[in-house]
Structure formats: C-alpha cells, structure tokens
C-alpha cells in the first residue's frame, strides 16, 4: 500500500531508549511502518540543546501529519523540556500564522500504581492541541510504568497483555484515521501487576540495588532539605 502519512514520535524522557516512553511509542511506530507510514523518532531533551536542533525540531513538526508524544509524569505534570517544546511550537505557530493540520496523541506513564495520576498531564496536552489548532486524537495513561523501563513488550509476557491490546487498537485507529477508542484508553489504564503491594515491593528492591550500585545505600534515609 502506498502511504504518504508522516508520523513523528517525540520522546519526552531523559532516559531515551531505556525509558517506558520509548518502548510504548516505538511499539506503535513499528505497526505503522508495516503499513508504510513514514516515521521518525526525536528525543526532546537532546533536541533542545542548541538553536539549530530546536529549529530542526520545529521544522520536522511542521511537516508531519501526526505527532505521537510519549513522556513520563514528573511531579504530577509534564517534564520541563516537554513544556518548553509546547511553548516553542506555540510561538512558532503564532509567528507563522499558518493553519494547523497536525494531529496529536499523547502517552503518559507514571511511577505510582494508579494511572489516574496522569489525568492533568493529559488534560494539558489536550489544551495545548486546542490552543495551537492541532487535532486532539486522544491520550493514553499508564501506571506502574517503572515495570517496563526500556524492556521490549514482547519479552514482558502476560504483564503487558493489556498494554499491547491498547497499543494495537491505537495503531488501528491511526491507520483508519480515527480517534483513539475508549477501549484502548481502558486497556492502558489497567494495572500491570495484580497487587500494588507487589509493585511497590519490587520497586523498593530495585531502588536499593540502584543505591548500592551508586554507593548511596547509607544515604537512603537522608533528609537534606529539612
């Protein structure tokens, strides 16, 4: 099939390819590539480092049909570089006064077990689309994001069955040029693990291993700002 639609995946995590954001976004991108979509991946943090990279980012965004934005929740909102990217896009649009044709999908994942923490970040993305004239196609929200952290979904077994169902539905919607379905949103918001206790227990072990590796184990209970 001859497909001329262009999609850009913007990854808003500083962890780059080791991030949950990258895994979720790239899963959809792979499905779209199979349908001959033209795809590209940009890491927001590195794209903001110089004026020429910022210009390149804006230029690429102007020339795509769909922006797939995947980022982690930071302090109940979007990471600062993602907010900066929104500001740059908005400034660029008001300077050029062009009519927008781009569509926007956002995928947010958070460290807490409940996906509901992401709702204000998703609402921010929707508002951004509204104010910049982009078409909001919908947003996905995942909790327990730390359980993915760069690992391929194909290697995570039953834990990510609902995540894959959601991303498959979203890919189909994009191919059919439709909005994200409620079913896709529901699947993504389902907990990855059956109990919150198990997730926090595993997270706590991984936290302690990281502290040991970084020779910071004895500092875990420090409260330097109190």
Of the pair 5, 151, the CB lying nearest ligand FMN is at: 151
DSSP string, the chain: -----EEEEEE--TTGGGSHHHHHHHHHHHHHHHTT-EEEEEEHHHHTSSHHHHHHHHHHHHT-SEEEEEEE-BTTB--HHHHHHHHHHHHHHHHHTPPP--EEEEEEE-SSS-GGGGHHHHHHHHHHHHHHTPEEEEEEEES-GGGTTT--GGGSGGGGHHHHHHHHHHHHHHHTT-PPPHHHHHHHHS-SSS-HHHHHHHHHHHHHHHHHHTT-GGGTT--TT-
- Closest distance to ligand FMN from the beta carbon of 12 (Å): 8
Q: Say if residues 25 and 150 touch (Cβ distance below 8 Å).
A: no
Taking the complex as a whole, the smallest distance from the CB of residue 79 to ligand FMN amounts, in Å, to: 8
Tell the smallest beta-carbon distance from residue 152 to ligand FMN (Å): 14
**Location of structure tokens 């539905």:** 169
Residues that bind ligand FMN (CB under 6 A): 13, 15, 19-21, 72-76, 109-112, 117, 145-146, 149
Min CB(127)–ligand FMN separation in Å: 19
Q: Name which of 113 and 138 has its Cβ closer to ligand FMN.
A: 113
Q: Based on CB atoms, which residue is closest to ligand FMN, 175 or 202?
A: 202
Nearer to ligand FMN, 76 or 177 (CB): 76
Tokens 């936290």 correspond to 207
Minimum separation from the CB atom of position 148 to ligand FMN (A): 7
- Closest CB to ligand FMN among residues 139, 146: 146
Comparison of 20 and 102: residue with beta carbon closer to ligand FMN: 20
Centroid of chain to Cα 6: 18
Distance in Å, CB of 93 to ligand FMN, minimum = 27
Q: How far apart are CA 153 and CA 141, in angstroms?
A: 16
């Amino acid at each position: 099939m001859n497909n001329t639609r262009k999609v850009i995946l913007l990854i808003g995590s500083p962890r780059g390819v080791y991030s949950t954001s990258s895994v979720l976004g790239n899963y959809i991108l792979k499905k779209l590539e199979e349908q001959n979509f033209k795809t590209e991946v940009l890491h927001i943090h590195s794209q903001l480092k110089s004026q020429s990279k910022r210009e390149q980012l804006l230029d690429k965004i102007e020339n795509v049909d769909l922006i797939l934005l995947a980022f982690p929740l930071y302090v109940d909102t979007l990471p600062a570089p993602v907010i900066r990217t929104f500001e740059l896009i908005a400034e660029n649009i008001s300077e050029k006064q062009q009519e927008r044709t781009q569509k926007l999908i956002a995928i947010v994942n958070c460290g807490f077990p409940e996906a509901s923490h992401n709702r204000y970040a998703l609402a921010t993305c929707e508002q951004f689309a509204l104010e910049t004239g982009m078409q909001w196609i919908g947003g996905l929200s995942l909790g327990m994001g730390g359980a993915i952290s760069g690992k391929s979904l194909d290697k995570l077994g039953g834990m990510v069955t609902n995540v894959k169902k959601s991303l498959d539905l979203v890919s189909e919607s994009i191919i059919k040029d439709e909005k994200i379905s409620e079913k896709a949103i529901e699947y993504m918001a389902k907990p990855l693990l059956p109990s919150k206790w198990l997730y926090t227990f595993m997270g706590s072990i991984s936290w302690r291993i990281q502290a040991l590796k970084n020779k910071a184990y004895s500092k875990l209970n420090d409260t330097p700002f109190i």
